[in-house]
Structure 1
Amino acid sequence: MHNSWKNLRRKKDEKDWFDETSIERWILRAHKNGVDVPKEVAVQWLYSFIDDDEVLKEYLDIDLTSITFKLETWNIESIMHIKPGAYGEKGRYLPVMRDLKQIGGKIEKSSYGHISSVVDSWLNHGTWRVPPIVLDSKYFLGYKTPYHLVEGYTRLAWFHYYANNPDNLSGIKLCKHHLIWLMTLKG
């Protein structure tokens, strides 16, 4: 495991997910350790899963001080090249795809159907509410190419389903452009 991961394991005063100051303390410590992580990336991935064995197993060789996250706008064709990583493919991505097929893509009947902001984003905007995190594989060895999904397995499954099933029961039509967080090397 690269030291940058060890240095960012959450401390006792950083473990409360519902305490904004807990998250802010962790982000400040990350920045002091040379890890420039945007809050939106921290909340959905690094802060949330820094202590998760499966995440560590998949990414532990990456020097977090050498990476940067760029918020980018991608078209549908580019997003179709994103491949789910080993960590979440079997446990999240594939089950969501199976569920969507069973319910004809009716997002309101999915396991997230009770979260109105998620449903609203897909129904009214044709995109995800929170941009997923994607690793540019040309900078990192051993990851799916050309783009490896780091976080956002359910979102990517929905995207792939709606891109391949434009006549879904929810009537979801993907918008032409979508935000993603692209993880690359600094410089």
Structure 2
Amino acid sequence: MDIRSKSWLDLEPLTIEYGNIEYFEDFYERIKLKPEFSHIPKKVFKQWLWTHHDKEESIANYGWLNYETIEFELCSWSSEKLTDIYVIEPYREYYENRASYDDLSDFCCTKRDLKQWKKEGTWNTPPIILDINSLSEAIPDWCELVAPYQLVEGHSRLGYLQSMFTIDKLGKEKGAKNHEIYLMKFRTTEG
């Protein structure tokens, strides 16, 4: 039994030479022409749907959804709201490791991202968080989905944010009060 929805299959990157997937720009140029996916932001495609499309955890937990009816709303959440986001088991240890730092010098990220953490106290690219309670379909038994909110993509960033709370409390750097995220949820209206 294939657990993947038709829309998940339609969003699959093409396989090119030597088993590699198509370049992101080629993928995006092809996918953006499909009106049923025109509501999905380019950053969501790049950081998740293209990059992690073949990952077992993505397929099991999110591959059954109909992406014609899922929206990604760019919004700002407070630091407090981001303290209780569920992280799936396969990535929990990784996330907790990133959440355990007490100095920015421990962050394993690009210079650009480190500069953003230092200057703004937040991430460059908004992570994707799923509003479990918005889903209109019954959640399959095989999924590890825990309400109310679950991290879909951005495990390092959410972990680093937890570390920023510690770093801020120690007075070493200033963390931002609000942070941009993509809230993934069932679209209640067409358009």
Judge same fold: TM > 0.5, yes or no. Answer: yes
Residue 65 of structure 1 aligns to a residue in which SS?
Answer: coil
Q: Is the 8 A contact 1:27 1:37 kept in 2?
A: no
- Give the one of 100, 104, 122 matched to 1:127: 122
Q: Structure 1 unaligned runs (5+)?
A: none
Residue pairs, 1:107-146, within 5 angstroms: 107-112=104-109, 115-140=110-135, 141=139, 143-146=145-148
- CA-based RMSD of the aligned residues comes to 2.3
TM-score by length of 1: 0.82
Deviations for 1:59-94, whole angstroms, at most 9, x for unmatched residues? Answer: 12211111000000111111112222334223x312
Structure 2: distance between partners of 1:178 and 1:10: 30
Q: What's the % identity of the aligned pairs?
A: 25
1:15 aligns with 2:16: no
Structure 1: distance between partners of 2:72 and 2:174: 28
User: Offset of 1:152 from its aligned partner?
Assistant: 0.5
Deviations for 1:20-54, whole angstroms, at most 9, x for unmatched residues? Answer: 3x14224325x334463100111000111112223
Deviations for 1:73-131, whole angstroms, at most 9, x for unmatched residues? Answer: 111111112222334223x3123234x2xxxx22233322xx11111111110101111
Residue 87 and residue 39 in structure 1: after superposition, are their counterparts in 2 closer, same or farther (change >3 A)? Answer: farther
TM-score by length of 2: 0.80
Structure 1 or 2: larger helix share?
1
Structure 1: distance between partners of 2:92 and 2:76: 24
Residue pairs, 1:87-102, within 5 angstroms: 87-90=90-93, 92-98=94-100, 100=101
The residue that corresponds to 1:153 in the other structure is 155
Q: Structure 2 unaligned runs (5+)?
A: none
Residue 27 and residue 174 in structure 1: after superposition, are their counterparts in 2 closer, same or farther (change >3 A)? Answer: farther
Amino acid across the alignment from 1:96: R
